[in-house]
Amino acid sequence: MSTPQYNRVIRKMVVGFGNLFNDITLVRYNPDASEAERFVIPIAYATKERYVMRLEDDLDLDKKVQVALPRLSFEMTGLSYDSSRKQNTNVKNFAQTGSGVIAQYNPVPYNFDFSLYLYVRNIEDATQVLEHIIPYFTPDYTIKLNLIPEMGIVKEIPVILNNTSHEILYEGNRDQETRMIIWTLNFTVKGFIYGKTSTSSIIKTSITNILNDISENDTVVFNMTVPGIGNYQIGEIVYQGFSYATSTATARVVAWNNGALHLTSINGNFVSSSPIYGVNTNASYQFSTYNLAGVVPERYVQIITTPNPNTAMANSLYTFTTQIQEGNGSPIIITGNANNQIVYAPDPVPQIDYNDIDLMQWQNTYNSEDMQTQL
């Protein structure tokens, strides 16, 4: 956490929300229903209290140095974790850059709470603006945000309208004409917060070795860690798991000395994160490493896979070259070319394509019994 990182995701959420309402036009009409004037309602990021204080300084609401109505403002009032949208945070996303690959873990889902405030002098202006906004939210409206440009992460973010409320503020006595109507619309934005990015190398060579398996008579030496409990006995059965009856791995003790446990007749897979228990002695230790005693691993097959061309990047057009070597024999190289054709080196022995055999010609040469014999 000591490394600074700032993806500006919260800022983008705020800007994206405000842009939804930055081009709302209000039209005022004459008594004969003809259009009198129209103008775009200004919007700013500010709390409701700030605007109320400025408006109360101008009872007539017509001084040019004061705030004129109608007007919009909004603010982010909070954010909370949304467990219903949790993703596997151990999964990384990758993107290619000019020099390599960058990686970033899956984001954390958070709900951003916003409030939109509408300030008007008369109810007619308020209802017109509300009828302009509300039909878009059923109850949500989706916006698209480029959250992490370097990763190519563009998210569609739902904006949900939760509720609306209003209040009417009078200056002095209610008989005065000066008043202010404030509508509050509360929203929830289903967003995400991302962690830092890191550079990652491109894997260009994959080597797979297939070795001989451990036989039942082989002995494996486990180097046990301390502290532990008790001492194992030669010949006793050891296991891993909640109990011997439900064990995940079992073996028989061949030797126990100087923190080294020699086991044979191994059944299952022993893991270093769990203790190995003795059935008779109840001895219990965990191991750190292991090795085969007197067993020389034998490689049966080696498979090496590389991109073709070997200068390919993550977003390049490329195929694969696969080299397969069995034992100490000569390797066979399989390459995919630009036409998606497979090329062998050396060429394999031609195989007979039995689909090309004309069985009618066989019938002219052999009778049915001979044909069955030949097949």
Q: How far apart are CA 60 and CA 179, in angstroms?
A: 9
DSSP state letter for 302: E
For 1, other C-beta atoms within 10 Å of its C-beta total: 5
**What pLDDT digit, counting tens, does each position of 75-134 carry?**
999 999 999 999 998 898 888 777 678 889 999 999 999 999 999 988 999 999 999 999
**What pLDDT digit, counting tens, does each position of 201-237 carry?**
778 889 998 877 777 788 899 999 988 999 999 999 9
Q: How far apart are CA 40 and CA 21, in angstroms?
A: 10
Q: How far apart are CA 12 and CA 154, in angstroms?
A: 12
Does the pTM of the predicted model rise above 0.75?
no
Q: How is 9-30 classified by DSSP, letter by letter?
A: HHHHHHHHHHHTTTT-EEEEE-
pLDDT band at 20, cuts 50/70/90? very high
Burial bucket for residue 241 (CB in 10 Å: 0-12, 13-18, 19+) = middle
- pLDDT confidence of residue 352: 47
Q: How far apart are CA 100 and CA 240, in angstroms?
A: 43
> pLDDT over 70 for what percent of the chain?
80
Q: What residue spans of 139-292 are helical by DSSP H?
A: none
DSSP state letter for 349: P
**What pLDDT digit, counting tens, does each position of 296-327 carry?**
677 889 999 998 888 877 667 888 889 998 88
Question: Is the confidence at residue 369, as pLDDT, over 50?
Answer: no
3-state class (DSSP) for residue 163 = strand
Which of these, 25, 291, 315, lies nearest to 152 by C-alpha position?
315
Report angle CA 298, 301, 302 to the nearest 5 degrees. 105
Which of these, 313, 315, 334, 312, lies nearest to 323 by C-alpha position?
334
Q: How is 145-159 classified by DSSP, letter by letter?
A: EEEEGGGTEEEEEEE
The whole-chain average pLDDT of the chain stands at 83
Question: Is the confidence at residue 59, as pLDDT, over 60?
Answer: no
Give the 3-state secondary structure of 68-120.
CCCEEEEEEEEEEECHHHCCCCCCEEEEECCCCEEEEECCEEEEEEEEEEEEE
Q: How far apart are CA 136 and CA 63, in angstroms?
A: 34
- pLDDT confidence of residue 89: 86
> pLDDT over 90 for what percent of the chain?
46
Which of these, 208, 198, 204, lies nearest to 316 by C-alpha position?
204
